[in-house]
Structure 1
Amino acid sequence: MRQRARDRMARIGKILSIAMFSLVFFGTGFVGAGPLEHDVAGTWRLADELSGASCRLSLRTGAVAADLAADAPGCERLLPGAGRVTGWRMLPEGGIELCDAAGAPIAVFDVGEVDGLASVEPAGLFLVMTPEHALSLSALIPGAR
């Protein structure tokens, strides 16, 4: 009897942990992606400033805030971990973060270039992300929105 109660409490604990993680990472899910996320979504070009090599990545939005999906096929040679990219998010301080399915950041890009976002994480990479659609990058700067 006690073991069953412990198992039940463990399941409840797991459910609460998942719910709290979801609220922190994804938000409530009751609010759809904002207008800025819809503007940012689309095809982007990821380029290595040193070699000139490039690839395409896709940022997508969905019906709820948690549905910010991404993929970067063929970008592994430029960005280690690109094959694990499944999502993205806007950063409060400006820029974009590409993340894996668990929400862990794979790369962080900040507004700093005239025509693209410069990589700041992981260190040692000199990547620029530029939109292949009309987008004013100044919209990604807090206070300029």
Structure 2
Amino acid sequence: MGRSLSRLGALLSAALFSLVFFGTGLVGAETVEHGLAGPWRLADEVSGASCALYLHAEQVGGAAPAGLFRAEVTSCGADLASGMASLSWRTLPQGGMELVAPDGALIAAFDVGEREGLSSIAPAGVFLVLMPEAPVELSSLIPGAR
């Protein structure tokens, strides 16, 4: 009897270790931000200028507003370069996402477009497109589809 209790204890210990070390799959599920992180292309539909954009799933620290994530912009065309040197991004509860300045001011808001990317919806007169350069689940930006 003592030997079988010892085996049972060893099995329970192994199971508990597995749950703690590997998780259950219920805790730490991938966030929308993690699903969208990666390389993107930001393009101005009017001028044709574009930038390489990398969305990180790492929150911006310091004095930045809460809920902002890091973004790196490289290789910008002259028409897009102003205001794009330092960006952050965030998803929106009502759907879509925003590119914002370090102080949280809106640069452009995006929603799922008719194409394989995101189209700007604000501010008026801005015609930007965000195209993923790696597979992403754009449906995660649609409320109710998450």
Aligned position for 1:115: 116
Aligned position for 1:62: 58
How many residue pairs were aligned? 113
Residue 143 and residue 52 in structure 1: after superposition, are their counterparts in 2 closer, same or farther (change >3 A)? same
- Where has structure 1 moved over 4 Å in runs of 4 or more? 63-67
Residue 70 and residue 33 in structure 1: after superposition, are their counterparts in 2 closer, same or farther (change >3 A)? farther
| Equivalent residues of 1:111, 1:141 under 8 A apart | yes
Of 61, 77, 80, the match for 2:79: 77
Extract unaligned runs of 5+ from structure 1: 1-31
Larger radius of gyration: 2
More strand by share: 2
Q: Distance in 2 between matches of 1:76 and 1:34?
A: 36
Calculate percent identity across the aligned residue pairs. 53
Matched, 1:135 2:136: yes
| Equivalent residues of 1:56, 1:75 under 8 A apart | no
Kindly state the Cα deviation for residue 107 of structure 1 after the two structures are TM-superposed: 1.3
Kindly state the Cα deviation for residue 97 of structure 1 after the two structures are TM-superposed: 0.7
TM-score, normalised to structure 2, is: 0.65
| Deviating more after overlay: 129-138 vs 47-56 | 47-56
TM-score, normalised to structure 1, is: 0.66
Extract unaligned runs of 5+ from structure 2: 1-27, 61-65
Q: What's the C-alpha RMSD, in Å, of the aligned pairs?
A: 2.7
